[in-house]
Structure 1
Amino acid sequence: MTKHHIPLRPLLASAVAMLALAGCDSKAPPPNMPPQSVGVITLQTQAVKIHTSLPGRTSAYEIAQVRPQVTGVIQKRLFTEGTDVTAGQQLYQIDPSRYQAAYDTARGQLAEAEAGEVTARAKLDRYRSLVQAHAVSRQEYDDALAAEKQAQGQILSAKGQVESAQVNLGYTKMYAPISGRIGRTLVTVGALVTANQTDNTAIVTRLDPIYVDVNLPAITLLRLKRELAQGRIERQANGEVPVTLTMEDGTTYEHMGRMALSEVNVDTSTASVVVRAIMPNPDKLLLPGMYVHAELDEGSDPSSLLVPQQAVSHNTHGDAQVWVIKPDDTAELRQIQIGQAVGQDWLVTGGLKAGERVVIVGVQKVKPGAKVKPEEVTAPAAAAQNNASQNKGQ
């Protein structure tokens, strides 16, 4: 029986050729993917009204503590607690009997002094002619002159006593020092009050207008002054800064006020400056100590840049960043500086300039340096596309 031997070399050559072909097929480059389509918006400068919203507290425009100036017993209370009083309105009556007696005594002493002065002046007049005739000595004349001057001094002293007694008598009537709303009485009829006591008998507070004090960060104040100096922010025509309030319950206060002043010293613990606004309060709706949000209308910036909020993300350090499409249609992730929110946009304070394109649709498709196919869209259309894609994903 004979065996047929198959040649091995041709078989090995065929196998090597097939492996080589297979290797060539695996190393073939993949087909080029087309650039991803993204929606972009081209930034343009525009006029934007600048607002700053800050928390604050209301404080009284005027406040007066009613205290007695003399010692005595309260005879009457002449006001209704919680009502409005006017400056000069009598609030309490202190027993005036002892002060009336002191006043009457002082007037009597004044009358005695005036009578003594009449006698001294008459004697001086007689001695003036007699001394010229040498009927009286010069010493007697000098004594008469001194007596007359002493009588005049006694009159002045007596008048001072009368005025002092009259002032004390007037203090028995306690008046409202300012116009405003008076609170509860802290003393009752029959209570003994003393001069220069530290306790109040009542407090009068002027509520219209009313102050609103807010803490403005010093860095924000510097920015405002710098932008005003550069002409970027235009003041109101009358030079004032309008202020509107949002109440603690979220409602808007119906009256508009104005910024009155800012402190000259920075609080080192908070790095802020107290800014005070004056608000009209005809209905007495605002009371001292209320928590409010004050919005300062700083003016308008005619060359602002706005970027849609949907285009802005934040890195791990909290820095704002956007995807910018360069002129060669490649993407660049760039850090920017943003300020306050203006509607659905952020106010750009640095990192971008007019004419640059920012991705607002399809940001998840973009990679650094990747080629993209930018398509200009508007912000409302971009928001609709984003909402549609989110609903589709759900």
Structure 2
Amino acid sequence: MRLRNAPLVRIAFAVAAFVSLSACEQNSFVAPPPPKVEVAPPVQRAITRYLDATGNTAPIKTVDLVARVQGFLQSINYQDGSPVKEGTTLFTIEPETYKLKLEQAQAAEVGAQATLKQAEADFKRQADLVQRQAVSQATLDTSTSTRDNAQANLQQAQVNTKIAAVNYGYTNVAAPFDGIVSNHLVSVGELVGVASPTQLATIVQLDPIYVNFNVNEQDVQRVRDEARRRGMTTAEIRQLPIEVGLQTETGYPHKGKLDYVSPTVNQSTGTLAVRGLVPNPDRVLLPGFYVRVRVPFDKQDNALLVPDVAIGSDQGGRYVLVVNADNVVEQRKVATGPLDEGLRIIESGLKADDRVVTAGLLRAIPGQKVDPQMQKGDATPAPAK
């Protein structure tokens, strides 16, 4: 009898043990702790707001050097591509011929002066004789005409002398300003200036140098609004500093100032043409370079900034995740500005004491609790040099 009931007893015991074990597991379940996230308050510091643009460099002066008189090129007095000072003779064009023409004109002027002197003396003599009725009035009229013709001939001779002097000066082609001269386009012994002025070379001034760029309509309005707030005049706006950097350079090492602002906005592009003037003593900037430009137009003492990684976006715009006093995650809509030394400027939507989630963003779900851990160390990225 006991042997037949043994399997039933073992089954009943196993069922009771399973039920007991299940009850123990249900009673010992504990909810997982809130996820840990790193938080940090916004960085608060003084910032400078900039207009950023891309532009290109251009020389402030560039002149084609031409032969303004006809003759054979006698000498080239510079090295191609070399810097020259204003007034330096660069080319010489057969000066002897024009020197002789000048001397000829000067001699003719001296002769005209002598003729006029004689004609004036004869006129005075004839005028005295007419008063004494020793000669007729017709004789005086002839003397007067001779004197007037002598005066006209002297004036013509003086003009011819000046023309000859100018042409003689053109035989030496000099640098009109300090600059760099291009390669020569003619050779010694070549006949130049035959039918029209012959281009000899080009001279370019590189120090200082222009930087041309365009500002969009929205930025123009921002600058004008800020200028009105600060009481700046149009002349003061045109004296704003500018900072320039080449595409291969870090930061904006070249400093200058605004030089020109167009009075009208281009309707086809919606931009305003602006020009800066930048010192270029080492000739690092060459005409035609594409450059990065920024113009500081506003300063703010207590701006709020957060790491760019802490900012998300959705159909509603940009946002950050903050942890409130109950350690619950909230999604906060923000208006963002440009980057400043690696951090993103927050225009509105944050307060200085907010705790912004900076790490563990995937674990931070709006409406749920988290375990906020204050970020250790300096979270501010190193500024760009």
User: Per the shorter chain, which TM-score range?
Assistant: 0.7 to 0.9
For residues 284-316 of structure 1, the C-alpha deviation after alignment (integer angstroms, 9 at most, x for no partner) is: 333222233234444531132213212201225
The change in CA–CA distance for 1:252 and 1:35 in structure 2 (over 3 A counts) is closer
Separation of aligned partners in 1, 2:144 and 2:176: 48
Query: Could you say which residue in structure 1 is the equivalent of 2:358?
Result: 360
1:340 aligns with 2:321: no
Shift of 1:164: 0.8
- Find the counterpart in structure 2 of residue 279 from structure 1: 278
Provide the rounded CA distance (Å) in 2 between the counterparts of 1:274 and 1:377. Answer: 48
Residue 203 (structure 1) shift: 1.2
**Offset at residue 93 of structure 1 (A):** 1.2
Q: TM (normalized to structure 2)? A: 0.76
Per the TM alignment, residue 243 of structure 1 is displaced from its structure 2 partner at its CA by 4.1
Distance across 1 between alignment mates of 2:92 and 2:267: 48
Displacement of 1:180: 1.4
What is aligned with 1:170? 169
Q: Partner of 1:293 in structure 2?
A: 292
SS of residue paired to 2:68: coil
Distance 1:252 1:196 in 2: 52
Query: In 2, Cα distance between the equivalents of 1:136 and 1:383?
Result: 110
Which digits, 9 at most, give the CA deviation of each residue in 1:348-380, with x for residues without a partner? 234445555543344334445x25357473485
Distance 1:217 1:301, change over 3 A: same
Write out per-residue CA displacement over residues 128-154 of structure 1, whole angstroms, 9 at most, x where no aligned residue: 211111112233223322321221111
Number of residues of Structure 1 aligned to a counterpart in Structure 2 = 347
Asked if 1:372 is matched to 2:344, the reply is no
| Counterpart Cα distance in 1 of 2:229 and 2:260 | 21
Question: 5 Å matches for 1:1-394?
Answer: 39-43=38-42, 46-194=45-193, 197=196, 200-231=199-230, 241-251=240-250, 256-264=254-262, 265-298=264-297, 300-315=299-314, 319-324=317-322, 331-352=329-350, 354-368=352-366, 370-372=367-369, 375=372, 377-378=374-375, 380=377
CA deviations 1:152-191 (Å, max 9, x no partner) are: 1111111111111111121111111111121110111122
- The farther-off stretch of 31-40 and 52-61 is 31-40
Pairwise CA RMSD: 3.6
8 Å CA contact retained: 1:323, 1:332: yes
Which range moves more in the overlay, 370-379 or 280-289?
Answer: 370-379
> Structure 2 vs 1, CA of residues 325 and 42 (structure 1 numbering), >3 Å: closer, same or farther?
same
How many angstroms apart in 1 are the aligned matches of 2:273 and 2:44? 32
Amino acid aligned to 1:338: T
Q: 2:83, 2:281 → 1: CA distance?
A: 12
TM-score, length of structure 1 as denominator length: 0.74
The residue type equivalent to 1:349 in the other structure is E
Greater fraction strand: 2
Give 3-state SS (helix, strand or coil) of 1:136's partner: coil
SS at match of 2:133: coil
Please give the secondary structure, in 2, of the residue aligned with 1:202: strand
Runs of 5+ in structure 1 lacking a partner? Answer: 1-30, 234-238, 385-394
Task: Kindly indicate whether the alpha-carbon contact (under 8 Å) linking 1:120 and 1:151 is maintained by their aligned counterparts in 2.
Answer: yes
Task: Flag structure 2 segments of 5+ consecutive residues without an equivalent.
Answer: 1-29, 233-237
